[in-house]
Structure 1
Amino acid sequence: MRYLILGAGALGGYFGGMLIKGGADVTFLVRPKRAAQLQRDGLIVKLQDGSELRTKTKTVQQGQLNGTYDVILLSCKAYDLDGAMDALAPAMTEQSVIVPVLNGMRHIDVLTVRFGQARVLGGLTTINAALTPDGTIQQSQLRINLNAIGELDGSTSNRCAAIKADLEAGGVPVQISDTIVAMMWAKFFGFVISATIASLTRSRAGAIAQSASGPSFVSDVIDECTRVVTAAGYPPAPPPAPDAAGIVRGMFSQQGSTYGPSMLIDMEDGRPTEGEHTIGDLAERAAKMGICAPLLTAARCNLQAYEINRGKHSKT
């Protein structure tokens, strides 16, 4: 199968590099600056085990796509989704399939409206990686490496099996799930809890753990988010399913921890955030269901104010 990876950032570069390692036919759709960097240095991925993957890549730029592709891996930030869809549309046929690993749930509705449910899979990853200034991709030491794909209607398919085989040939374990939507909601739940805590405190986990009111605040955020996802029809799954709330609670109880979710890191670096697509989305769902969600509303307001102030600073 031919794979098109939209961008060669942290996640796109990681998955693309591992697919190439396993022998897959991979092309990266990138901007001119990244294309030049990859042409000069190749794709460099530093893995958790200390090894380094260096590989040559095929790249293409928007408007210069060479034919169509069987699988499009979509790992952009949620706020770039509209532009991403325009960029990948010429690469698709009726048999092409999009595998999104974005944060949140809103993108599934957007993608299925644009391309149809038959051309969109559910997907999630908990792999954490960062793109360094020199273009290297550094996989985080945070060893929660869950990857899953599945048909949105829960059916089995040969295409899921083929994608799983290609990823695992490169060393990426993948689960095919017949409940992928519920799994994505579980990740959405955990992400919003973590992002809400960090957005309201503007602090790393260790500082929150040291504060006297930290544990009760974390519990309040978990309780509020639990009420909303339960009302939406996706309550936290019982064991043996992963305990998203418990994982987040554990992360924010470690004194000295430097952990911060991507939302916080984006704010620290002055970048746009996925706030509206994650925290904002869950806050809107709560409002439509008549559920009072003051912490989600406060976090959303905080992020909206951040974006307004960021815009003012960028103009000066």
Structure 2
Amino acid sequence: MRYLILGAGALGGYFGGMLIKGGADVTFLVRPERAAQLQRDGLIVKLQDGSELRTKTKTVQQGQLNGTYDVVLLSCKAYDLDGAMDALAPAMTEQSVIVPVLNGVRHIDVLTGRFGQARVLGGLTTINAALMPDGTIQQSQLRINLNAIGELDGSTSNRCAAIKADLEAGGVPVQISDTIVAMMWAKFFGFVISATIASLTRSRAGAIAQSASGPSFVSDVIDECTRVVTAAGYPPAPPPAPDAAGIMRGMFSQQGSTYGPSMLIDMEDGRPTEGEHTIGDLAERAAKMGISAPLLTAARCNLEAYEVNRGKHSKT
């Protein structure tokens, strides 16, 4: 199968590099500057075990797509989704399939609305990687490395099996799930808990753990998010599924911890956030179901105000 990776950033570069390592036919859709960098230096991925992957790449730029790709891997930030869909549309045939690994769940409705359910898989990853200033990609150590794909209707398919085989040939373990939507909701649940706690306090986990009201605040956020996802039809899954609430409670109880979710880091660096696609989405679902969610509402307002202020500062 031929793979098109939208961008060669942190996750796109990681997955693309591992696919190339396994022998897959991979092309990166990138901007001219990144294409020149990849042509000059190759793709460099520094893995969590200390090893380094260096590989040559094929690149293409918008306007050069020919619609002959079987799989399109989408790993952009949620706020770039509309532009990403416009960019990848010329690469899509009736048999092509998109594998999205974005945070949240709202993008599934957006993608299926544009391309149809038959051309969209569910997908998730907990892999953490960063694009460094020199263009290399650094994978970080995590307690849980989980990658999963699946048909949105829960059916089995040859294409899922083929994608799994190609990724695992490069050393990326992948689970094919017949409950991929529920798995995505479970990740969404944990992400929103973490992002709500950290963005409202503008603090890393260790400082929250050390504060007198930290534990009760963390519990309140977990309880509120649990009520909303349960009402939406996706209650926290029982074992052996990962206990997202328990993991978050543990992470925010470690004094001295420097852990901060990606949303907090984006705020610290003055970048746009995925707040509306994640916290905003869950807050909106709560409102539509008539569920009181004051902490989610406060976090959403906080992020909206942050974006307003960020816009003002960017113009000065």
* Pairwise same-fold verdict (TM > 0.5): yes
Deviation at 1:67, TM superposition (A): 4.0
Residue 59 of structure 1: SS of its match in structure 2? Answer: strand
Cα separation, 1, equivalents of 2:267 and 2:88: 28
Residue 130 of structure 2: SS of its match in structure 1? Answer: strand
Cα separation, 1, equivalents of 2:136 and 2:144: 21
Deviation at 1:66, TM superposition (A): 3.8
Cα separation, 1, equivalents of 2:206 and 2:46: 26
Deviations 1:226-247 (Å, cap 9, x if unpaired)? Answer: 0000000000011111101111
Deviations 1:47-82 (Å, cap 9, x if unpaired)? Answer: 010000111111111111144200000000000000
Say how many residue pairs are matched: 316
Cα separation, 2, equivalents of 1:277 and 1:33: 29
Deviation at 1:36, TM superposition (A): 1.2
Deviations 1:70-97 (Å, cap 9, x if unpaired)? Answer: 0000000000000000000100110000
Cα separation, 2, equivalents of 1:304 and 1:186: 25
Cα separation, 1, equivalents of 2:261 and 2:218: 14
Deviations 1:15-66 (Å, cap 9, x if unpaired)? Answer: 0000000000000001111111111111111101000011111111111114
Q: Which runs of 4+ in 1 moved over 3 A?
A: none
Deviations 1:163-193 (Å, cap 9, x if unpaired)? Answer: 0000000000000000000000000000000
Deviation at 1:212, TM superposition (A): 1.1
Q: Conserved in 2, the CA contact under 8 Å of 1:6 and 1:75?
A: yes
Cα separation, 2, equivalents of 1:19 and 1:251: 32
Deviation at 1:270, TM superposition (A): 0.7
Aligned position for 1:73: 73
Bigger mean CA deviation after superposition, 111-120 or 239-248: 239-248
Aligned position for 1:48: 48
Deviation at 1:142, TM superposition (A): 1.8
Cα separation, 1, equivalents of 2:157 and 2:272: 37
Q: Conserved in 2, the CA contact under 8 Å of 1:155 and 1:178?
A: yes
Runs of 5+ in structure 1 lacking a partner?
none
Deviations 1:103-158 (Å, cap 9, x if unpaired)? Answer: 00110000000000000000000001111111111101123100000000000000
Cα separation, 1, equivalents of 2:201 and 2:225: 17
Cα separation, 1, equivalents of 2:309 and 2:286: 26
Q: Conserved in 2, the CA contact under 8 Å of 1:68 and 1:90?
A: no
Residue 122 of structure 1: SS of its match in structure 2? Answer: strand
Q: Conserved in 2, the CA contact under 8 Å of 1:70 and 1:96?
A: yes
Deviation at 1:101, TM superposition (A): 0.3
- Amino-acid identity (%): 97
> What is the 5 A alignment of 1:211-222?
211-222=211-222
Deviation at 1:293, TM superposition (A): 0.3
Deviation at 1:11, TM superposition (A): 0.4
Q: Conserved in 1, the CA contact under 8 Å of 2:270 and 2:310?
A: yes
Cα separation, 2, equivalents of 1:8 and 1:24: 16
Aligned position for 1:257: 257
Q: Is 2:9 the counterpart of 1:3?
A: no
Deviations 1:185-235 (Å, cap 9, x if unpaired)? Answer: 000000000000011000111111111111111100000000000000000
Q: Conserved in 1, the CA contact under 8 Å of 2:67 and 2:93?
A: no
Cα RMSD over matched residues? 0.7
Cα separation, 2, equivalents of 1:197 and 1:111: 29
